[in-house]
Amino acid sequence: MGSSNTAGGGVREESAMEDGGADGGAYQPEMPAFGAFSEGEKVLAYHGPCLYEAKVQKTEIRKDEWKYFVHYLGWSKSWDEWVVADRLLKFTEENGSKQKFLAKNQNVDKSSKSGRSTQSKPRSSNDAKVDKEDIRNQAPRGKKRKGQTGTEEKSMRSVEKLAMLQFPPTLKKQLVDDWEFVTQLGKLVKLPRSPNVDDILKKYLEYRTKKDGMIVESVAEILKGIRCYFDKALPLMLLYKKERQQYQEAVHDNISPSSIYGAEHLLRLFVKLPELLSYVNMEEDALGKLQQKLLDLLKFLQKNQNLFFLSTYNGSKNMDKSDD
Amino acid sequence: METGGEEEQDGLSGHSPGQAPPSSASSLPKEHPQVELELRILEALEIYHPAKLQGLHRHFVLYGLMEYMRKSFEKQFTADEILQLLDRFFNLEMLKPDEEEVENINHEEDFSLPQSFFIKEES
């Protein structure tokens, strides 16, 4: 009992129901009579990577799912929003330490910056966007009620499959460090990178070819596809706001981003792959095979992590700007 | 039956630098009648719309088609073989990328790392 609460990304529906429906107790997957959280209840709510104290003000069933209208305590009403149960945790001591843990991780680098509360609320609209993004990314992740059907369901399903693309933990950390360097410390990857994305993909093909004793056609095709995605997606969805200016300067017409950027940005593409691939509407077993191959590529990146990835970012956005 | 696992069944593909495929479909494997190949590829197009072959997703659509054919004939097809087959039905050059795709992909947004990446796994 209760131990299930410590798991991963927020309260899973099941455990939440157990806690919340203590009176009735009956868990009905189709349509619970009560949401996991009740009106007026004090909760912890994810906003971006951190947890904040919040109060549930309204609850409602929309599209067969309980939605909660939360107000973040101590924050302007303009932050009030509707969220799903995945974003909320019960206001317990255990979850409180989780909140502190996350906040501490967040603020390693900025706690000294100002006299403001250490649990800084995302300030820029950019950060707020993180959130919408999250909802979109997380919605399909196996947390839907079983009985639910809908028009979105089909395209969701393939996303869901690929969302299970498990990042090796060290690459996950690589992405968090990447986030921290760029968005928190204002550091950038110095361009052009060597090896660049083209080099890395070529190395991988060589590695596979050697291992399999031949060029595996499907792998070659996937690598072409990744390169194509990378070039297109880089300016559209793989850059943090602070990197845009650098992009303008580094990438002129006719140069493909894959010859300038390296593993740091390639790894971000993997975060976006499920979304991109959902447009292909691939058959399930083809998708499964693809997933294995992508995972193999990820493992290759991991194996060569020291070789491919920068350990620190040096290029700063503005030369004259020191970071406090 | 499938041997399972991720091993490709490339042994039969007969694709070697020595015998560059001529421009006709004659490099396609002989063991299956042409009509059967064509039937299957048309079937596959119900899943993978040919218009998608012209856009951003081209390579993954080709991959999907390769997988479909591999499954149907239990042998590996190359991308070129797939394109040769399709060439009999479509002028691929003339296909326009579908508009929905262009719309979906063309708006710019900043990268943001999903929340799940920030949560450290226990132990």
pLDDT tens digits along B58-67: 999 999 999 9
Residue A294: the pLDDT is 94
Instruction: Tell me, yes or no, whether A172 lies in a domain.
Output: yes
Domain at A45, CATH number = 2.30.30.140
Instruction: Tell me, yes or no, whether A24 lies in a domain.
Output: yes
Q: Indicate whether A71 and A193 sit together in one domain.
A: no
Within 13 A of B110's CA, how many CA atoms are on the CB side? 20
Band of pLDDT at residue A72, cut at 50, 70 and 90: confident
Q: Indicate whether A165 and A110 sit together in one domain.
A: no
Would you call A217 and B79 a contact, using CB atoms and an 8 Å cutoff? Answer: yes
Instruction: Tell me, yes or no, whether A143 lies in a domain.
Output: no
Q: Indicate whether A171 and A113 sit together in one domain.
A: no
Band of pLDDT at residue A118, cut at 50, 70 and 90: very low
Instruction: Tell me, yes or no, whether A150 lies in a domain.
Output: no
Distance from CA of B98 to the nearest CA of A (A): 11
Instruction: Tell me, yes or no, whether A202 lies in a domain.
Output: yes
Instruction: Tell me, yes or no, whether A151 lies in a domain.
Output: no
Residue B108: the pLDDT is 86
- Indicate the residue of A216, A271, A281 with minimum beta-carbon distance to B8: A216
- Number of domains composing chain A: 2
CB atoms inside a 10 Å sphere around CB A277: 24
Predicted complex ipTM:
0.73
Picking from A81, A98, A123, the residue at the C-terminal end of a domain is A123
Higher pLDDT, A11 or A275: A275
Picking from A123, A148, A172, the residue at the C-terminal end of a domain is A123
Residue B49: the pLDDT is 86
Would you call A286 and B63 a contact, using CB atoms and an 8 Å cutoff? Answer: yes
Instruction: Tell me, yes or no, whether A141 lies in a domain.
Output: no
Q: Indicate whether A89 and A200 sit together in one domain.
A: no
Range of the domain at A47: 3-123
**In the predicted structure, residue B85 carries a pLDDT above the cut 50:** yes
Distance from CA of A241 to the nearest CA of B (A): 6
The verdict on A108 touching B (C-beta cutoff 8 Å) is no
Instruction: Tell me, yes or no, whether A85 lies in a domain.
Output: yes
Mean pLDDT confidence for B41-52: 90
Domain at A185, CATH number = 1.10.274.30
**In the predicted structure, residue B8 carries a pLDDT above the cut 50:** no
Q: Indicate whether A161 and A298 sit together in one domain.
A: yes
Q: Indicate whether A110 and A222 sit together in one domain.
A: no
Residue A281: the pLDDT is 86
Distance from CA of B52 to the nearest CA of A (A): 8
Residue A269: the pLDDT is 96
The verdict on A137 touching B (C-beta cutoff 8 Å) is yes
Residue range A83-112, pLDDT digits in tens:
988 899 988 888 888 887 777 666 554 444
Q: How many Cβ pairs within 8 Å bridge chains A and B? A: 149
Which of A158-172, A267-281, B7-21 is most confident? A267-281
Q: Indicate whether A300 and A224 sit together in one domain.
A: yes
Lowest mean pLDDT among A245-254, A258-267, B102-111: B102-111
Concatenate the DSSP letters of all residues of A94-147 into one string.
HHHHHHHHHHHHHHTTTTTT-SS-SSPPP-SHHHHHHHHHHHHHHTTSS-S-TT
Cα-based angle A167, A170, A175 (whole degrees, multiple of 5): 70
Residue range A130-183, pLDDT digits in tens:
444 444 444 444 433 444 444 444 444 444 545 556 889 999 999 999 999 999
CB atoms inside a 10 Å sphere around CB B62: 26
pTM for the whole thing? 0.59
Picking from A123, A149, A176, the residue at the C-terminal end of a domain is A123
Cα-based angle B18, B20, B24 (whole degrees, multiple of 5): 150
End-to-end CA distance of chain B: 42
